[in-house]
A and B are shown apart, each in its own frame.
Chain A
């Protein structure tokens, strides 16, 4: 791992610089730190920072740029005639990369010596055999061009790595010398170091933005790619979901509507379970319960929120499904055909959402000012009348917000529907039938064997995009409502 060693080297340069810089600053102040502008440690830190930050930036840049440059250079070596029918330069290049990697492994494991790996006139069959011996997966027989290209690739990459090590070490050293030269008693080291720390803090805060950008771009690019291969109108309006399993496209019907219907139906069932239970639980806990009951029941309900969704998924598949089969299955009323159904998934998802609804509503009900309740009691209303006619109307916007947040949770939930809802996409009103959801199909389309560039795999990104937009919209709307409501009483 040369990069690890390079990192250690740079850190070592920085550390030595730290010690030297601190000493030099102290010596310019005549050994008395009171004569320094800043604490001695800041002079050391200044050297350390100036040494490692530029060095690591150069390294990062190099690591990003080098593969692109080498790739460009090597792909020029492959004539268009070498690219097989139905293939493209990208696939050939990945073959080249794989071969180069194989050569590296073969050299490392001793199956091949360095000369042989570099020798352009090597026997093809011999090389292929040796690569296989070294445990490298070589998809097809390597052609002479690919071999030559991969040898070139290897050499360029190795040369690049050497140069990178030299340049990075020099940059680190130069930075250290710069910082060391600055270490003088009048130098405002603390201000400089604090600026550096500030930059780190801002960079850390910006990661949230980068993540969002990453999500949006990875979704958008692949979604466009998908719409290039598959008509957008069919994706949005086709009433059928039937991907072909060959992964070659053509016969697939990829309409989102059945999936969306399944998602909304299951979420609806979940909310029908969670909202009444959660809401009544919240009302009881905040208005009626004694402190003892409250301090027991509230954390207990919240345990339900801390249980991982895979547990709920298993519960749906192995406990609730068979239970519902006993009640509604062929042996009794015969409404249900299989254990996986909208009801199974919806019920379990509802259980998961109970604490979500109850704690949010609890907070909101508690935020209603006591004066409003007292006014109502003073007019002779009973407690339930006060709750129904005063507290709930006042809390309604917040409760609606909580329900919307719960709905967005339900729509984005994956494991329960993957395990409990089934795999067949259907447009049906029967809650006992198996249906599938957007999230379940994202999982199945991306974990299958289908080619990553096929519309069958890319459709997952379009589904993800739809999911992202729907949940984001719901969240923004819910937070808007909650915020608007809160402003009224604070």
Chain B
């Protein structure tokens, strides 16, 4: 019976080797290869985005750290000094002296170029004032050669970097004239212009639109620092206390369930909503000073708390129960077993989580915009306490502020500020990784 059915129903089989691919296998293998390709392409695209982001930041931000300076050896004679100090417009005389000296030097090197005091002030700022301030403090240097490094204006800087061409100059620009290009070329030929590291960018404060080259990120770094202090001293104790309660003591009831739901939801609330909370509760209701790092720190604390609580609970959970049992066994109370044994063992993990939470808070911008930390801050706080209460900016907010101004120099500053911000974040993350590597215990 089976024989009969086999004879009639079985189609004629082609005998092929198992190792030879037929069409269908080939198709399936091709699909397999394609699918694997998709994955590789996806990862490549992701990495490409990362690389292009880093490239964009570095290529556009690094120039912010360099600045053109005019380096010149200058001698002010005693007569010139006495003469200048006796005049009504003292700095103007200093400027004139400098201009005369500079053109003499240029002529001595065989470079002919016409320029006046106004051109020098356009290129180098208030030279006369700088010189007078120097000789006022160092009167004994009068009559001796002194090497001055004068920071060039931002447009000079950009011309030398190639981002500002002769064609870019607009009619009626009172900060820069067409003949200034010739003067820059001449000074460069004479070897007066060189590149120096722009310390002012790191230590300085924000500047107005008339002096984009002088803007620095220093004050806002300090603002960020004070906010991080607030976050650290509030979020770490509160977060650890909350995690200890939830992980070690909390009974399973509605109240603790409610807390858990709240924490997981807060972790996903958009940061701007925290800004609204800060505005309504801390500024509108509690009348805390607007734009103050204290308020910024409070808002960021509330924002970072869920992150810290989640990571702290994970590291508390990682401490094996045998530790707790041993402590209880020798007569410690539950509280003592937690504070004397579990907490110290979980500390590396807690610190790692805290640093990562701080890094997140450091880069956060949106809530700071709402509580007004984007103002124009042109000075450092006077005292430690004032650092918390006086209006200040923060690094990301300062970067946003620069990006919003439509001047190419400020754009460059914004990219430069991002480099500094990322250096801070990278350092914090590396510290976290090292902490984890060194102290993490596997049970």
Contact = CB atoms under 8 A, between A and B. Distances in A.
A446 B283 CA distance: 13
A318 interface: yes
Given A308-B396, A412-B270, A284 B245 contact: no
A212 B262 contact: yes
A484 interface: no
A361 B49 CA distance: 20
B273 A412 contact: yes
Given A314-B399, A447-B374, A280 B39 contact: yes
A197 B411 CA distance: 51
Interface in A379-402: 382-385, 387-388
Contacts of B411: 318
Given A208-B259, A317-B403, A442 B39 contact: no
Interface in A394-423: 405, 408, 411-415, 418-419
Interface residues of B, number: 84
Given A204-B241, A439-B272, A384 B263 contact: no
Interface stretch (A136-144, A163-171, A230-238, A468-476): A468-476
B41 interface: yes
A260 B140 CA distance: 70
Interface in A352-397: 354-355, 358, 382-385, 387-388
Contacts of B163: none
A1 to B, nearest CB: 7
Contacts of A411: 270
Interface in B128-171: none
Contact residues of A: prevailing secondary structure: helix
A224 interface: no
A322 to B, nearest CB: 11
A306 B359 contact: yes
Contact of A284 (B42, B242, B276, B418): B42
Contacts of A303: 50
Contact of B366 (A212, A301, A408, A415): A415
Contact residues of B: prevailing secondary structure: helix
Contacts of B418: 310-311, 314
Given A198-B249, A306-B359, A310-B400, A442 B46 contact: no
Contacts of A415: 365-366, 400
B32 A414 contact: no
Nearest to B433: A299
Contacts of B178: none
A205 B46 contact: no
Interface string A302-315: 01101111110111
Interface residues of A, number: 86
A304 to B, nearest CB: 6
A194 B272 contact: no
A359 to B, nearest CB: 12
A219 B415 CA distance: 35
5 contacts: A205-B259, A300-B47, A304-B53, A354-B46, A354-B49
Interface of B: 28-29, 31-32, 34-36, 38-43, 45-47, 49-50, 52-53, 56-57, 60, 237-239, 241-242, 244-246, 249-250, 256, 258-259, 262-266, 268-274, 276-277, 279-281, 284-285, 302, 305-306, 309, 333, 335, 359, 362-366, 369-370, 372, 374, 385, 396, 399-400, 403, 411, 414-415, 418, 421-422, 425, 429
